[in-house]
Amino acid sequence: MPDEMLIPLLESGTLDRSVIVGAPEDFDFPTTLENAKTIRLAVAFGHMSGWREIEASFTQSHASHIQVLLGRAFFQTEPEVILAIKRLRDTARAGLVVEVKLASAVSTFHPKVWIIESEVSSFALVGSGNLSCGGLVGNVECALYTDRAPDIAALQSWFALQWNAAPPFANVYETYIRKYQGLLAARRELAARINQAAKKEAEDEAQWRLKLAIGLAADYWKTPEGQREVEERANALERMRIILHHPDFDFTAEEWGQFLRIPELGRIRLSHVQKTIANLPRLREILGQMAVTAPLAALEALQNVPGIGRNLATKLLAMHLPEKFVVINEPVQSALGRFGYELEIHNIVTREAYERFLKDLKLFIEECEAVGLLPAPALDAFFYHFRDKDVVGQG
């Protein structure tokens, strides 16, 4: 399948986890929520971890009508999510109607459906991911994108049927919350036992995957393709340093645009160009400080500049010190996921999270140093090569 037909649901996701099939190449889910006219969501359950991923897009949305239908089956929906959406309803700006319901309990409610309408276009996502961080980012999930008018009309009819079948929100939400809280102690005890067993399974598998990955990396860097890809990235890093006038960083807006168009070590979404150009004085100041003080101190400051996310921020760090820093982008995360690494990396990466990321890569970095390669270009080349490979079958 071509890469453009398969994209992560959220920018912080990866192609081996929660994905969308068939969306436009420039599809940006949070932006579509912000620009929507109406939003309809029906999911089996909601967790606060998922609500936090999209809350900003809901609160900043230009929509006039938002409907959220949450399942009650097996008491999986967390009360905090129900109350958070209720608060959004109660404090909605003028011109916005927010409605929330708990689905009928007559039968198990198990859909994962988004229906988004806007002035420009309308589409729907029908998939497997619930409103949780796992469903939106971390789990292996898949949703099909459709903008076909017959599909959207049919889904709207289906949603209306489920919405009308749900009891009035005021009649059930307090009772649901009381029952949920009554089961909480038993649920936590059982969940702890299940999580402990699952963690042991994952750790056992991760050990042999790590050995496999280190061996594959060493072999890849010896191949003509591996040597070429590493060299191309090293040359690209040097071009970046020249274009941005490293370490003075007195580059122009035109030169910044040239830097953003260098594809090596992660393609940058050009839709954010104007946001960054409007903030070039602040950006130059942060980069200048990065060059003379502790570079990691600049990581979070860079991500506070509009238009700069974790991909671009870590790309700038890797450009500055390629012997020490590694880019966090989708191919890197996808490859690491295939090797069994569970990375808690979101759209915004904190200094602490990035330090954990580098610690997780310690053995890879040491392997780079052992063969005389800079970690930034060598690891990016290796992870890009293996991002969609059957790595287990090669062991």
Query: What is the rounded CA–CA span in Å between residue 167 and residue 173?
Result: 10
Query: What is the rounded CA–CA span in Å between residue 70 and residue 75?
Result: 11
Q: Residue 24: is its pLDDT beyond 70?
A: yes
- Write out the residue range of the structural domain in which residue 353 sits: 198-394
CA-CA-CA-CA torsion sign (291, 257, 274, 51): negative
Angle at 266 between CA 210 and CA 138, to 5 degrees: 50
Q: With beta carbons less than 8 A apart as the criterion, state whether 100 and 86 touch.
A: yes
Query: What is the rounded CA–CA span in Å between residue 331 and residue 384?
Result: 5
The predicted pLDDT at position 28 comes to 92
Structure-model confidence comparison of residues 361 and 390, the more confident one: 361
Proportion of the chain above pLDDT 70, given as a percent: 94
| 295 occurs within a structural domain | yes
Total domains in the fold of the chain: 2
Q: With beta carbons less than 8 A apart as the criterion, state whether 287 and 259 touch.
A: no
Q: With beta carbons less than 8 A apart as the criterion, state whether 147 and 121 touch.
A: yes
* Domain match, 96 and 165 both: yes
Proportion of the chain above pLDDT 90, given as a percent: 68
Structure-model confidence comparison of residues 53 and 191, the more confident one: 53
| 86 occurs within a structural domain | yes
* Domain match, 161 and 280 both: no
How many other C-beta atoms lie within 10 A of the C-beta of residue 120? 9
Q: Which of 55-69, 264-278, 304-318, 380-394 has the highest mean pLDDT?
A: 55-69
324-357 pLDDT per residue, tens: 999 988 888 878 877 777 666 666 788 998 998 8
- Give the DSSP per-residue string, 96-147: -EEEEEEPPSSS----EEEEEE-SS-EEEEESS--BSHIIIIIS-EEEEEE-
Query: What is the rounded CA–CA span in Å between residue 184 and residue 343?
Result: 28
The predicted pLDDT at position 16 comes to 82
- Give the DSSP per-residue string, 41-63: EEES-B-HHHHHHHHHHHHT---
Mean pLDDT, all residues of the chain: 90
Given 182, 207, 242, the domain boundary residue is 182
The predicted pLDDT at position 344 comes to 64
The residue-averaged pLDDT of 270-274 equals: 72
The predicted pLDDT at position 161 comes to 97
* Domain match, 239 and 281 both: yes
> What CATH number does residue 169 fall under?
3.30.870.10
Q: Residue 393: is its pLDDT beyond 60?
A: no
Q: Is the peptide bond before 150 cis (omega within 30 degrees of 0)?
A: no
Whether the predicted model's global pTM rises above the 0.75 cut: no
pLDDT band at 1 (very low <50, low <70, confident <90, very high): very low
* Domain match, 154 and 223 both: no
205-255 pLDDT per residue, tens: 777 777 888 899 999 999 999 999 999 999 999 999 999 999 999 999 999
Q: Residue 111: is its pLDDT beyond 50?
A: yes
| 189 occurs within a structural domain | no
